[in-house]
Structure 1
Amino acid sequence: MLARPSAHDADGSALATTSTAFDNNKGAVMSKKTSLWASDGLFDHSDIVSLGNFTYVHTLKSAEVAPPQQTASSSTPTVSEFLNGAISEYVLGGTPDGMRPFLVDGHQLTLHNSLNGATAHTWITAENQVLITYAGTTRGENLLIDPLSTAGGLLSDLQILGQQVSSAQHQSLDFAHQVIEAAAKQGYGTQDIFVTGHSLGGISAEYVAQQTGLGGISFEASGIPRDLHAVGQGGNFVNVVTLGDPVANYSSDIRGEQPFAPSFVSQAEGGGSLPHYGSLFLIGAQADQQDLAEAAAKVGHLFSGDNGGQVTPVDAALHPVSVTAGLAEAVRLIAEFHLPAAEYTNLGVTPTGGFLDTLPAHIGTAHGPVLMVGNYSVAELQAFAETHATFG
């Protein structure tokens, strides 16, 4: 095996940082408490709220809460690198700032299949680690030159809606194995290979991590089918989910999108039939999750997550107004909370690499606390969620 190249730091040093969680809208600082989840399921500030395996009690305080300091050296890319890498897939020729292509025989190792929407690029980060970035459904600006890929991605989305592993996920896994093999020849072990993506790309990253044990972060990915025989255990993978986003909340381990989504079971109790792989990092505002719950209740006449994703046309015919209203509300919620603005704002990440400064980083709506966690590693992000409220 070849010796791994020496790491080079993008800014010359790794500085410890301190950040604060605050809510610009309410001025409330929130504390976290470990307890059983509330039985009434209401999303309001007076109740204990359970979302996945996170339980919070909201209190007003006059002082801000300071998160743990970042360690001087991180064993993973930062949250900023994961997010900028994931969103670069929406930009023509997008190159995440501070990264360079991972080359094999002089060419960047990439994946592209227009028939199922599976697309990915590989990069070397500032920490001299390998990052695989998987593309979302629309592929953003790439839609202009490859509309067929978007159509293929939509077909994969339908498979995911039916609680199946999509063809895009399977091919993304095959590609990851190719990257692992090629990286090994250049001196990189699996502990230095990571995955990320947004939307469909995040779902692919989540599935690849489940099947291989690679670490990473997904953004706005749905839950995926459980696999008791998978290699991954989930301890090195985080799913960033915005409250109110119908795509990311389509799962069994977050309360809010039922009955459209499968029945809720907390991660502490196993996560149910369609959980997120790894841990959850919830951002945004509870009020938006309540809007999602109301829309899901209406659309539930059309589709029940507990029947394996089968459409029930009879119920839809009996409740046309309710279903139509619910679908319209779901479209609005996707437009507001599935797009990148929420992640950039709530995570305190600065879009880098000029192409991200306008489109797409500012598309969408952000509510809730601003968490300055952009320089955190995967482990530090998980530790922050264990001790601080991450949504408002």
Structure 2
Amino acid sequence: MDVEGARGRSRIRYAVVALALSAGIAAAPAAGVACADPSAGDSVSGATSQTGSAATHDTGSHNATSEPAATEATDDAPRNEPEPEVSDPDTPDTETETETETETETEAADQPRPQRPSRHADTGQPARPERDKPLFPRWRAAIDQARAEERTQATPPARRLTLVRTEQAAPSATEPAAVATVEVSTVAVTPPQPQPLSPLGKLLQLPGRLVNTVLQVFDITRSSQGPTAPIKIAPPINDLLFAAFREVEKWIGLDRTPPPQPPFPSLTYTGPTTAKTPTVAQFLNASASAYGLGTTPEGLVPFTVNGFQMASANIISGMAARAWVTPDNQVIIAYQGTTGGTNLLFNPFIAVAQILTDLQVIYTQTTPWAFTDALRFAERVQAAAAEQGYAPEDIFVTGHSLGGWEAQYVAQQIGLAGVGFESPGMSSTVPGNGADSMFVNVETYGDPAPFMASDLPGLQPFMPPYVPGGGIKPHYGHIVMIGDPAAMTPLLNAVTLWRTGPLRNFVFFMDFLGNFFQYHLPGIQAYHLGVVPDPGVVPWLGTARGPVNAGWGDLTIPELLLAATDSGTLHRTVVAA
């Protein structure tokens, strides 16, 4: 009996201990609610913790008067609540979020502590007030929308996003418990200064610079930085040859009054002139530098990526280009013209591909490989420039001759602004064909290259029929004519010999080539635009005579359009509807 009694008493004691342990286990999580963090440690969960904390304080304030007994029962529970954060972690790169949160307590500090939210019976998670559920999703959605809009902006790297969130406790239970606002503002960020060339990048450019220094001694190239030729033999020889050529034209009778030409519609520019672009001189010098091995346009620096200048040269397609940065942090993509100039010393085979490209554009309606190569290079420069903080409107294209053709095509395809020099018309067209664009073709009277088009009269029937502002081979963008219109007289007479016999065809081609070398090279455009060429590649080749548009080299693109309007030399590329 004593043994059985002891066993019974032992069972009772075990039951009491078990009940006590069960009660302790059941009560332990309730005491730990205050220090539980329902979120992870990233920026999203940080915001969740803030809203949850604010919700707990507000709920307690409202429950303090309705359930005092419950409040006293939990008042002894340990409190280890984290302080609410005031801001989310910084977003990468150009986006910055700032968050301010203000909480208004409705109870005095000496009143009983509020009751903790009870647990859901099914999930065991802390119950949140109904008002808190839509608050965080609305705020997060506003941020995501703002960021999505920022990513779709044309200039995401050049802007900074600021988000401000304000939360305030409700004054009573009958009014909305919180107010969440999101303010979005964009602040322009100045693009970074051009990145310098790395030591290896400078070393790779050294051979070309050394060769160019030697070429300057022999007056093949010129630059404001470098040696000057001690004896200039070429200019007098050049002048003598072209003087003799003009005498031959007179002897043949090509100086007579030419046949009348169809009207060449003019254009009046009425747009704004405040848009900031590189100057005409910067475009011309950048396009001329594409012909020079180791040359640098005056005032411009290489556009670099990882310490190397962005450049491209394809021997098979014939496309070659380099990117430069102006003092105003604008990027100019300069495409190389036919033969490559002094670059032939290092890359002679590219000239063959470039000449074939010229023939393809002139005699077919197809788009050559070089044009698509030029477009891909421009897109690569755009992407690299965007990563460095340049806006899309700060990317421009230029080129001379074949380079101007490629610049036209790139402007036509992706809408870049720029200036092309002495480029013919193209086979590809788009609606409007650049009538509202900021791309300008600067063309010289007497040079047959720009007249190899259907929207400039003068070389028909050698070229397709002339259509004012159009045809099957028009220019893209506006046309600004420079030079002396009388310089076209020999060509207008020579083209009448076309298809009238082999000998006369030969005379036409010889006069075509003579006028091409007389008026085509960048030095002639520099003369008529009032620009001191820097660099100059064979600057003495050609005939610099006729009117000079003084000061045009300092004009931006819209200023050039206005100046050409005032002088009557701006012409439309598309006939008005």
Check whether TM > 0.5: yes
SS at match of 1:84: helix
- Which of 436, 458, 461 aligns to 1:259? It is 461
5 Å-filtered alignment, 1:318-337, equals 319-337=501-519
Shift of 1:216: 0.2
2: CA distance, partners of 1:55 / 1:238: 13
CA deviations 1:63-121 (Å, max 9, x no partner) are xxxxx9x97x6510000000000000111111111111111121111110112210000
1:145 and 2:346 correspond? yes
- Which of 260, 266, 272 aligns to 1:54? It is 266
RMSD: 2.6
Specify the alignment match of 2:478 in structure 1.
Answer: 279
Shift of 1:130: 0.6
Specify the alignment match of 1:382 in structure 2.
Answer: 561
Specify the alignment match of 2:323 in structure 1.
Answer: 122
2: CA distance, partners of 1:243 / 1:231: 23
1:171/1:230 Cα in 2 relative to 1: closer, same or farther (>3 Å)? Answer: farther
1:55/1:110 Cα in 2 relative to 1: closer, same or farther (>3 Å)? Answer: closer
1:7/1:347 Cα in 2 relative to 1: closer, same or farther (>3 Å)? Answer: farther
SS at match of 2:297: coil
5 Å-filtered alignment, 1:237-256, equals 237-256=439-458
Q: Is this contact kept in 2: 1:41–1:50, CA < 8 A?
A: no
1:198 and 2:380 correspond? no
2: CA distance, partners of 1:362 / 1:282: 22
1:89/1:120 Cα in 2 relative to 1: closer, same or farther (>3 Å)? Answer: same
Specify the alignment match of 2:260 in structure 1.
Answer: 42
2: CA distance, partners of 1:387 / 1:227: 28
Shift of 1:298: 2.3
Shift of 1:189: 2.1
5 Å-filtered alignment, 1:174-189, equals 174-189=376-391
Q: Is this contact kept in 1: 2:326–2:332, CA < 8 A?
A: yes
Specify the alignment match of 1:362 in structure 2.
Answer: 540
SS at match of 2:321: strand
Q: Is this contact kept in 1: 2:454–2:465, CA < 8 A?
A: yes
* Structure with greater strand percent: 1
2: CA distance, partners of 1:254 / 1:7: 42
2: CA distance, partners of 1:124 / 1:226: 29
2: CA distance, partners of 1:50 / 1:120: 36
Q: Is this contact kept in 2: 1:210–1:231, CA < 8 A?
A: yes
Specify the alignment match of 1:307 in structure 2.
Answer: none
Q: Which amino acid aligns with 2:510?
A: A
1:211 and 2:413 correspond? yes
Percent pairwise identity: 39
Q: Is this contact kept in 2: 1:109–1:179, CA < 8 A?
A: yes
1:177/1:255 Cα in 2 relative to 1: closer, same or farther (>3 Å)? Answer: same
1: CA distance, partners of 2:193 / 2:484: 39
Q: Is this contact kept in 1: 2:459–2:492, CA < 8 A?
A: yes
Specify the alignment match of 1:309 in structure 2.
Answer: none
SS at match of 1:362: coil
Specify the alignment match of 1:295 in structure 2.
Answer: 494
Structure 2: segments with no counterpart, 5+ residues = 1-155, 159-189, 195-257, 571-577
1:234/1:294 Cα in 2 relative to 1: closer, same or farther (>3 Å)? Answer: farther
Specify the alignment match of 2:191 in structure 1.
Answer: 5
Q: Which amino acid aligns with 2:489?
A: Q
* Structure with greater helix percent: 2
Shift of 1:222: 0.3
Shift of 1:229: 6.0
2: CA distance, partners of 1:184 / 1:235: 22
Specify the alignment match of 1:160 in structure 2.
Answer: 361
Shift of 1:337: 1.0
Q: Is this contact kept in 2: 1:213–1:234, CA < 8 A?
A: no
1: CA distance, partners of 2:448 / 2:434: 26
Shift of 1:204: 0.3
SS at match of 1:116: coil
1:102 and 2:303 correspond? yes
1: CA distance, partners of 2:401 / 2:502: 29
Equivalenced residue count is 317
1:103/1:285 Cα in 2 relative to 1: closer, same or farther (>3 Å)? Answer: same
Which entry has the higher C-alpha Rg, 1 or 2? 2
1: CA distance, partners of 2:403 / 2:327: 22
TM-score by length of 1: 0.75
Q: Is this contact kept in 2: 1:284–1:366, CA < 8 A?
A: no
Q: Which amino acid aligns with 2:455?
A: D
Specify the alignment match of 2:280 in structure 1.
Answer: 79
CA deviations 1:209-236 (Å, max 9, x no partner) are 0001000000000011242369965520
Q: Which amino acid aligns with 1:333?
A: N
SS at match of 1:174: helix
CA deviations 1:119-174 (Å, max 9, x no partner) are 00001111110100000011111112211011110111111112432211111011
SS at match of 2:342: helix
Runs of 4+ in 1 over 6 A off after TM superposition: none
Shift of 1:295: 2.3
2: CA distance, partners of 1:139 / 1:287: 30
